């Protein structure tokens, strides 16, 4: 172990972002990253509970869930998946720009990420509007009629069971959209701070950790998309 | 410590290549949804989703090559507990009709 006083003076000279209770910048970064991952694990369990509920109810009311799923727009879902993947790439490039100390490039990537996040939310908004128009929003105005399979055969659907599908659809995509809104806010603040020069190649942990959050939100959508939109096309 | 400091970053081309791989995965899974594969439709869709999620975790979230092994342990434990939640719940609900 070093003499504490000399190390403090040394580090203050080297890196103003280093807090006094960490031995060096790498340890501080590892601690922040570990804390972020612990938070992400709680997020995985939070969404995991909803995924579990979805799977259990899908097994119990298979026909209604398939009929409900077939009402969703596969193209809007696919577009949003692509938008989120591109935004994950811009986030990872933002972290790389921060690491290299390229301030303007970093701000550029952060702004593009926020714009892509807003694109996702806009498409989601159009999807939600369609649900309102078709009376597929759970509540007193909910309506759902029987559907037809590929051969034109009528499949009877219990509207109450279909309502369960749309409840889970709105809760899961709604919680995901809330995370997207928070992420957009987070990256907007980071873009302003990055513009002011808060981040250096020696300290850009907030960019990295916000990036971890954004990638997790992306992963949740990577599972939501097939589960809600794709797996019940043929049933 | 110091030799681990600049460890996680790949080249810009590498990240774009992973991004293109993820987009190809998305196109494949959408294409597969239009083909009637019976019980394999959900299996293929979730398999592709898992491959995509693994790519994001390993390369975008820098779990592969992370300097701190503890972070890796936390990530694995997170997915482990999720697996317990899903397997035990489904082990119950999937077998209720077996009487």
The complex scores an ipTM of: 0.88
Say whether both B30 and B61 belong to one domain.
yes
Q: Are A78 and A201 in contact (CB under 8 A)?
A: no
| Residues B19, A85: C-beta atoms closer than 8 Å | yes
Which of B8, B24, B30 to mutate to test binding with chain A, by most A CBs within 10 Å of its CB? Answer: B30
Residues near B8 by beta carbon (within 8 Å), at least 6 away in sequence: B62, B65, B66, B67
Say whether both B82 and B57 belong to one domain.
no
Q: Residue A25, Cα to own-chain centre: how many angstroms?
A: 29
Say whether both B14 and B60 belong to one domain.
yes
Residue B54 covered by a domain: yes
Provide the sign of the torsion angle of the four alpha carbons A176, A178, A183, A184, taken in this order: positive
How many structural domains compose chain B? 2
Domain that holds residue B92: 68-99
Which of B12, B41, B68 is opposite residue A96, by nearest beta carbon? B12
Say whether both B16 and B58 belong to one domain.
yes
What is the C-alpha to C-alpha distance for residues A157 and A67, in angstroms, rounded to an integer? 8
At B8, the pLDDT band (50, 70, 90 cuts) reads: low
At A13, the pLDDT band (50, 70, 90 cuts) reads: low
Go through chain B and tell me how many residues it has: 99
Say whether both B20 and B50 belong to one domain.
yes
Q: If you measure CA to CA, which chain B residue comes closest to A94?
A: B12
Query: Within 10 A of A42 (CB to CB), how many other CB atoms are there?
Result: 10
What is the C-alpha to C-alpha distance for residues A126 and A128, in angstroms, rounded to an integer? 5
Q: What is the pLDDT of residue A16?
A: 74
Residue B75 covered by a domain: yes
Task: Provide CATH code, domain A25-230.
Answer: 1.20.120.80
Q: What is the pLDDT of residue A149?
A: 67
Which of B19, B56, B90 is opposite residue A55, by nearest beta carbon? B90
Mean pLDDT of A161-174: 96
Query: Where does residue A121 rank: exposed (0-12), middle (13-18), buried (19+ CB within 10 A)?
Result: middle
Q: Which residue has the tokens 């938008």?
A: A83
Q: If you measure CA to CA, which chain B residue comes closest to A214?
A: B61
pLDDT digits (tens, 9 = 90+) for B29-70: 999 999 888 888 999 999 999 999 999 999 998 877 666 788
Which of B46, B75, B78 is opposite residue A226, by nearest beta carbon? B46
Which of A45, A222, A223, A235 to mutate to test binding with chain B, by most B CBs within 10 Å of its CB? Answer: A222
Say whether both B44 and B57 belong to one domain.
yes
CB of A91 within 8 Å of any CB in chain B?
yes
Say whether both B60 and B73 belong to one domain.
no
Would the pLDDT of A114 be above 50? yes
Q: Nearest 10 degrees: CA dihedral of A56, A158, A78, A180? A: -60
For residue A200, list its beta bridge partners. Answer: A203
Residue B2 covered by a domain: no
- Name the H helices within chain A: 4-14, 25-60, 62-69, 74-99, 103-133, 159-195, 205-224
């Amino acid at each position: 172990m070093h003499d504490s006083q000399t190390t403090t003076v040394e580090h203050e000279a080297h890196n103003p972002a280093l807090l006094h209770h960490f031995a060096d910048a790498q340890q501080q970064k590892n601690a922040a990253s570990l804390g972020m991952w612990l938070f992400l694990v709680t997020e995985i369990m939070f969404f995991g509970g909803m995924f579990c509920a979805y799977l259990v109810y899908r097994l119990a009311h298979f026909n209604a869930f398939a009929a409900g799923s077939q009402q969703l727009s596969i193209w809007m879902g696919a577009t949003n998946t692509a938008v989120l993947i591109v935004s994950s790439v811009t986030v990872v490039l933002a972290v790389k720009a921060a690491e290299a100390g390229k301030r303007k490039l970093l701000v550029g990537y952060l702004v593009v990420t926020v714009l892509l996040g807003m694109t996702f939310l806009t498409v989601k908004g159009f999807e939600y509007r369609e649900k309102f128009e078709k009376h597929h929003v759970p509540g007193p105005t909910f309506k759902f009629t029987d559907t037809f399979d590929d051969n034109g055969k009528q499949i009877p659907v219990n509207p109450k069971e279909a309502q369960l599908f749309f409840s889970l659809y709105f809760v899961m995509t709604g919680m995901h959209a809330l995370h997207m809104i928070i992420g957009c806010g987070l990256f907007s603040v980071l873009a302003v701070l990055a513009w002011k020069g808060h981040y250096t190649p020696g300290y850009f942990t907030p960019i990295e950790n916000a990036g971890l959050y954004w990638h997790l939100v992306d992963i949740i959508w990577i599972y939501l998309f097939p589960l809600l939109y794709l797996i019940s096309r043929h049933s | 410590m110091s030799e681990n400091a600049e460890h996680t970053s790949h080249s810009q081309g590498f990240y774009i290549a992973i991004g293109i791989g993820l987009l190809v995965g998305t196109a494949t899974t959408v294409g597969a949804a239009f083909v009637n594969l019976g019980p394999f439709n959900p299996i293929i869709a979730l398999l592709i989703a898992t491959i995509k999620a693994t790519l994001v975790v390993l390369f975008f979230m820098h779990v592969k090559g992370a300097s701190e092994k503890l972070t890796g342990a936390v990530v694995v434990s997170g997915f482990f507990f999720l697996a317990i939640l899903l397997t035990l719940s489904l082990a119950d609900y999937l077998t209720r009709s077996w009487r």
